[in-house]
Chain A
Amino acid sequence: MSDMTLHHDHGHGDEHGHNPAQAHQFENMEQQTECYITGMWTFLVTEVMFFGALFVAYTLYRWNYKFDFYNAHEHLNVMMGGINTMVLLVSSWFVVMAVQGAQLGKRNQVLAFLAGTQLCALTFLTIKYFEYSSKFADNLYPGVGFTTNPEHVHHANLNHAQIFYGFYFGMTGLHAVHILVGILVIGFLMMKWYRRHPSVVNDFVYTEMVGLYWHFVDLVWIFLFPLFYLQANPFPPSVGGH
């Protein structure tokens, strides 16, 4: 009763001649590429929701405690945050060039630009390290040891400042973890390119997926930086901030 016929173009006949990068579950390379790209975007959706929940919570508290958050944020180092923003933007450009290299099959271009990306990522973490150390030196990490010196939080309510720094360390820390994962993944990808592994050399999609991930990590920072470092003064003009 079932009107099924068989598709003779596929199946065992051509499974010997296909691209070695093609996995067994796919009928052809286009299907594989589409699956990988769709899968990566779907994964990024989950990442957006992951960070999104924290962004919502942060927004809520910043709305509730806008004066305290503004005062507390003045202790953040805009210069370091700004440089880090530039570093990540440059790294994203490197990734774009690396993906282009992968599409054109230019191994040297891929390796050079991925190395540049790694350099940016390490620079970012180094600057982050100095930023965090200066906050730790002022006892600005949440917990029983949180600073009692009003100067450190620019006269914000100490409890609310603690929540602010909770979000600061929580969200930038989670972002830094993503940078670390990125370094590992890019390192792995570079190794495969270096060894001319067929999965990456014959198929640019792996490089593109890593690129998408890196752009996402970059983009999270593009939101984190203004929301934490560049707060507008919420005080009425007559009162003034600090």
Chain B
Amino acid sequence: MSATATTTGQIHEEPGGGKETNYLNVTHTIKSWLLTQDHKRIAILYMVSTAFFFLLGGIAAGLIRYELTSPAGVMLESETYNKVFSAHGILMIFTFLVPAIPAIFGNFVLPLMIGARDVAFPKLNLMSWYLYMTGGSLILWGILAGGVDTGWTFYVPLSSMYSNGQVTITLVGIFIAGFSSITTGINFVVTVHKMRAPGMTWFRLPLFIWAMYATSVIMILGTPVVAVTLLCVIFERAFHLPIFSPELGGDPVLFQHMFWFYSHPAVYIMILPGFGVISELIANFSRKRIFGYHFVAFSSLAIAGLGFLVWGHHMFVSSQSMYEGIVFSLISFLVAVPSAIKIFNWTATLYKGHIRFQAPMLYALSFMGLFTLGGLTGLFLASMGTDVHLTNTYFIVAHFHYVMVGGQMTAYMGALHYWWPKMTGRMYHEGMAKFAALILFIGFNLTFFPQFIVGWLGMPRRYHYYYFAPEYQPYHIMSSLGASVLALGFGLPAFYLIASLINGPKASANPWGAHGLEWNIASPPPTENFLEIPIVTDEVYDFDPTSEFEQEAGTHRIMHGDAPGLQTKDGDKKPMEDK
């Protein structure tokens, strides 16, 4: 910690006074960004780099949707089409969805929320970003050098023996990016266990922290398994390591078991952070303590735990025994229980809350609808009877996009809009943001709802040629039109968020009147987060529901520095007067 002695951890700003030093303006050199150990700056590094990979994955998605508008394809060769959808999956999953919320918002707000100066291992945190960039660059190199046609799942023996694409380099990239997940997971687990401020007990933790903790547990337990599995494929390609070689008596389905042992929990890596974000948004924009806090907290852990026991539902049609299938099917149904607990508890939180429909809340509400649909259609796929009919159809594509895009991406947008003022110190155009949230919701449903229908009718996934089933075309055209709207929904925020950096009004410390330690410090926060580590004495989401005034005063509520006359939860008593 250097040269930050002038920063303040609390809201002491003189109105219209001198410029505050914060983590953004404390230094300006490129080196100070690339070698930073500040969790907030690393979060920004992640935000920019994941956005870049998201853009690339989005371009691939656009190509897919364009190609599917005609039953005979429009412009891509079959092999090129395979490479495009593989690139879309690999980029979106490994370089965007897995790191996005944990590495951006987790990194940024986790230490703030628990009252810590930084994560436990700042150097490891920086290393995590470099690992991510190395992995991402290798994946990109693989795509530029010809791409892979295996899909993001890299099933053997296609990936190990037959595929001539850049499988090895792509796998090495994913392997390295995996270690960035692992280091982030280790950092978060240790930080949550050991770095909480005095008084910040486990059950005073914001639910976003519980979700991050559950996510980190999956990252720690799952990622090494997929790393070693992909390593086996790399070694099979390079040195004929015969672990999955069917011609020698090896078992290719073992690859699927090992792959999905990580990759099914990995979809919970992708959705649990979303749950955490939504819990924050629902509580703070309903101005109510979340209904059933303990249930919501433990349901995150339950999803993380159960997530490790359901991988077999990806192999209902891959030579797995029926009895295994029954067990995996049953446990997969059980995942619906903690997921439903969350949805019901959020709904109960809304009941009689002081709901404010600001942009982040719109994303949260849209999440609840879309995730519910995505989750319920998951049950169609978890029961073996319907799954045999729906396996490898567009129904699956629609299902996981409802969870991953309708769920996680919507939560990502919600988080982005919620913490943007804290991260940048600027307010964006609220009307534009609400409009974008609406566009995203409409575009998303238009894109993916027709895919449920066309999948149910039998359109297989990963096909671009459906010349003999032209009746599918209207659904594909609807979907492609929706994708254009969806692109607008993602493009608009890029426009008005960047505009807010240039001429947005300055954000106050707590523009939403939200509750939590991160809102007690200046926006953007000083490098060391807290001038002095706070002592937490109140419960999480401890709103006073009777106090309309509190909402209005949101911009300068907080701690002992409050202006006179501001109402605290205990009447007008100010904490400092206790002394």
Task: Enumerate chain A interface residues (CB-CB to B < 8 A).
Answer: 1-8, 10-12, 15, 23-27, 31, 34-35, 38-39, 42-43, 45-47, 49-54, 56-57, 60-61, 64-65, 141-144, 157, 159-160, 162-163, 166-167, 169-170
Contacts and interface: CB of A to CB of B under 8 A. Distances in A.
A46 B220 contact: yes
Given A3-B570, A24-B118, A25-B195, A162 B544 contact: no
Contact of A160 (B193, B248, B576, B578): B248
Among the interface residues B5, B124, B194, which one has the most CB atoms of the partner chain A within 10 A? B194
B227 A50 contact: yes
Interface of B: 1, 5, 116-122, 124, 182, 185-187, 189-191, 193-195, 197-198, 220-225, 227-229, 232, 235, 239-243, 245, 247-251, 254, 258, 261, 515, 520, 528, 531-538, 544, 547, 550, 557-560, 566-570, 575-576, 578-579
Contact of A4 (B189, B254, B575): B575
Contacts of A34: 194
Contact of B537 (A3, A46, A53): A3
Nearest to A58: B243
Given A24-B118, A53-B229, 13 more contacts: A2-B559, A5-B579, A7-B533, A7-B535, A25-B195, A27-B533, A35-B191, A42-B189, A46-B221, A52-B225, A53-B224, A53-B258, A60-B254
A38 B190 contact: yes
Contact of B240 (A10, A144, A160): A144
Contacts of B240: 142-144
Given A2-B515, A46-B220, A144-B240, A38 B531 contact: no
Contact of A5 (B187, B537, B550): B537
A9 B223 CA distance: 40
Contacts of B547: 1
A41 to B, nearest CB: 9
A4 B535 contact: yes
Contacts of A49: 220-222, 224-225
B389 to A, nearest CB: 31
The 10 closest A-B pairs by CB, nearest first: A143-B240, A25-B118, A50-B224, A49-B224, A24-B1, A159-B248, A11-B532, A1-B568, A3-B537, A35-B120
Contacts of B558: 2, 4
A35 B195 contact: yes
Nearest to B516: A2
Given A24-B118, A45-B221, A163-B249, A35 B194 contact: yes
B518 to A, nearest CB: 12
Contacts of B227: 50
B195 A31 contact: yes
A35 to B, nearest CB: 4
A171 to B, nearest CB: 10
A162 B248 contact: yes
Contacts of B537: 3-5
Contacts of B579: 5
B194 A4 contact: no
Contacts of A26: 117, 195
A49 to B, nearest CB: 4
Given A10-B533, A25-B119, A53-B258, A35 B235 contact: no
B131 to A, nearest CB: 14
A48 B576 CA distance: 50
6 contacts: A1-B566, A7-B198, A24-B118, A50-B227, A57-B258, A143-B239
Contacts of B249: 64-65, 157, 159-160, 163
B533 A5 contact: no
Among the interface residues A1, A49, A52, A60, which one has the most CB atoms of the partner chain B within 10 A? A1
Nearest to B544: A1
